[in-house]
Amino acid sequence: MARPTHVCIVASPRPRTGRTTVARALIEFHRLNSGRAQGFDLDAMDNALAQFLPACTMPADIAETQSQVAVFDRLIIADETPKVVDVSAHAFEAFFNVMAEIDFAGEAHRQGVEPVILFAANSDSLSIRSYTQLRARFPGLPVAPIYNDGIVRGHNLRGAFPATSAVALPLHVPALSPALRTIVDARPFSFNKFCRRPPVGTPDLVAAELVSWLKRVYLQFRELELRLLLSNLRGSLKEALPDDLFAPSRPSA
Amino acid sequence: MSKPAVIIVGADKGGVGKTTVMRTLLDYFLARKVPTRAFDTESPKGTLKRFHPDVTDVVDMNHIPDQMQIFDTLSENAVTLIDVRAGLLSPTLTALRNIGFIDAAKKGQITLSIFHVLGPSIASLDEIVENSDFVNDVRYFLVKNFINNTHFFEWDQATYNSYFKRIKDAVEITVPKLNEMACEQVELASVPFLTFIANKKANGEPAAYSFVLRGYVRHWLGHVWAEYDRIKLVDIVSTREAPQIKATG
């Protein structure tokens, strides 16, 4: 059985929610695991993701049809290459409108592509409303909230961003210290490269902090991946073994 | 079908999307397994024939032999659709009245429906008046076609309503705008909308059309067909119950 191709859509209707940091970490997680991942940066104003990881990220302006074709025609290919889409605040509405109009979720299911929406949670009313609307709009898709401690620490968001299924459990992103934040935010930057070989002069404490942070984040990505695989396996088994498999056969006439 | 059904699609102005409307109608009937035959009056070129060659004949409405080919061969077994060349809607209706076709429709011997595709100008409203003399007893549909990015805003609503009411029981149909690139790609592919959605070439072989553009066409065609379902088009041309079908490939 071919492995499903995972498409992680990291989105937020608000800027500065730590969305791109999660997208970057996701791409690097997949590259560490399987050596491949494709990123899509829909932030036409900043293109942060494309600047952090230029070798594997395609920038696109989702308002243009050509970009929509370039993005979604690649997302729908079941090539086992994990894909990560960074949906910025200004691309949020347009992206999900196109996604709904072309029935990406339905076609993805038919093609063996598994999309999951990772929603960067925030305490504002727009974020809460958008999360609820996304769940209603794409009922078959897992929508998992991301609680970024560096952004939403102190807010209890569980009530406003409930888990949608056993697959879409919340992701917790620990806060980075200001010193580490400065290093991590300098473009270009690779988490994996830094952890493998920290630049000369990097204090051991800072390097250790990033390794620890990354381990915690990657562990959650691994768990999410396994939950998705398990869910996919359960679905396949259900198809292979119908509910009425052991139903008593009808007496012959 | 208990009696022959004829659908005329026309406008007195060119470029308002008559052939596009005609193509959506042919796809609609095909999906509902209603047999059709179509006549393209853009002689000798025939844009419609490029998309639906199997069911389309190119004719010249000014030639009596061609008129005979259409009207003397009407059948209860297939809906006859006529894509009337730009500028010929009113003359065609006049000719139909002269050969007794409109009267036959009034007497219920045939089912005649007219899809009048409107342009954005006030001249389109004048066409309604021109046609109102002899179409009060047929099914008359005014099609607002937005596919070419048409804007109907220049019409004052009160003015439009006054024209609209000239034809008794006229029904309005709205064809929404289709994404321009999607529209262009279907044109290039030269296949019916349904074939494009199904990602196939004209000869049935698999094609490589964009998933996004196919999605746009499917979504758009679904809206157009919803309009045809709303007016119960299958019931109009047939006594059979109209099934609800989605525009899927």
Reported as a pLDDT band with limits 50, 70 and 90, residue A252 is low
Residue B151 in this model has a pLDDT that exceeds 70? no
The 10s digit of each residue's pLDDT in B87-127 is 888 888 888 888 888 888 888 889 999 999 987 666 667 77
Asked whether residue A249 is domain-assigned, the answer is no
Q: Is the pLDDT of residue A240 over 80?
A: no
Q: Is the predicted ipTM greater than 0.85, yes or no?
A: yes
For residue A70, which phi and psi values (nearest 5 degrees)? Answer: -60, -40
Closest CB to B211 among A65, A101, A102: A102
Residues of chain B in contact with residue A101, where contact means CB-CB under 8 angstroms, are 215-216, 219
B211 touches chain A (CB under 8 A): yes
Is A33 within the bounds of a domain? yes
CB-based contacts of A176, cutoff 8 Å, min separation 6: A150, A184, A209, A210, A213
B153 in contact with chain A, both atoms CB, cutoff 8 A? no
CATH of the domain at A128: 3.40.50.300
Q: Classify residue A112: in a domain, yes or no.
A: yes
- CA B171/CA B110 separation, integer angstroms: 19
Q: DSSP assignment, residue B153? A: T
- A230 domain residue, yes or no: yes
pLDDT of residue B149: 64
What is the pLDDT confidence band of residue B242, given thresholds at 50, 70 and 90?
very low
**Average pLDDT across chain B, whole number:** 86
B182 contacts in chain A (CB < 8 Å):
65
**Nearest partner of A111 among A133, A154, A80, judged by Cα:** A80
CA distance A103 to chain B (A): 7
- The total number of structural domains in chain A stands at 1
Is residue B133 within 8 Å of B98, Cβ to Cβ? no
Q: What pLDDT, on a 0 to 100 scale, did the predictor assign at position B134?
A: 67
Of B181, B211, B218, the CB nearest to A65: B181
Query: How do residues B211-221 score in pLDDT, each as one tens digit?
Result: 999 999 999 99
Confidence tier at A163 by pLDDT (50, 70, 90): confident
Per the structure block, which two tokens stand in for B167? Answer: 């034809």
- Asked if B176 has any chain A CB less than 8 Å from its own CB, the reply is no
Residue A239 confidence (pLDDT) above 80:
no
From the list A73, A103, A107, the residue facing B210 with the nearest CB is A73
Q: How many Cα atoms are found within 13 Å in the side-chain-facing hemisphere of B167?
A: 27
Contact B215 A101 (CB under 8 A): yes
Please report whether residue A207 resides in a domain: yes
B210 touches chain A (CB under 8 A): yes
Give the pLDDT confidence of A47-77 residue by residue, as tens digits: 999 999 999 999 999 999 999 999 999 999 9
Considering the domain boundaries, does residue A251 fall inside one? no
pLDDT of residue B196: 98
- Among A65, A76, A101, beta carbon nearest to B211: A76
For chain B, strand residue ranges (E) read 5-10, 36-40, 56-58, 79-83, 111-118, 139-145, 171-175
Evaluate if residue B129 carries a pLDDT over 80.
no
Residue A101 to residue B216, Cβ atoms within 8 A:
yes
Q: How large is the C-alpha radius of gyration of chain B?
A: 17
Range from A98-102, A187-191, A213-217, B23-27 carrying the lowest mean pLDDT: A187-191
* Token pair 């002269």: residue: B98
Provide the whole-model pTM.
0.88
Q: What is the pLDDT of residues B185-217, one digit of tens each?
A: 999 999 999 999 999 999 999 999 999 999 999
For residue A98, which residues of chain B lie inside 8 Å, CB to CB?
212
Of B180, B181, B216, the CB nearest to A102: B216
Q: pLDDT at residue A245 above 70?
A: no
In a domain, A148, yes or no: yes
**Closest residue on chain A to B181 (Cα):** A65
CB B235 within 8 A of CB B242: yes
Q: Does any domain span residue A212?
A: yes
Q: Percentage of chain A surpassing pLDDT 70?
A: 94
> Which residue segment(s) compose the domain that A203 sits in?
5-240
Distance from CA of B182 to the nearest CA of A (A): 9
Q: What is the percent of chain A where pLDDT is above 90?
A: 77
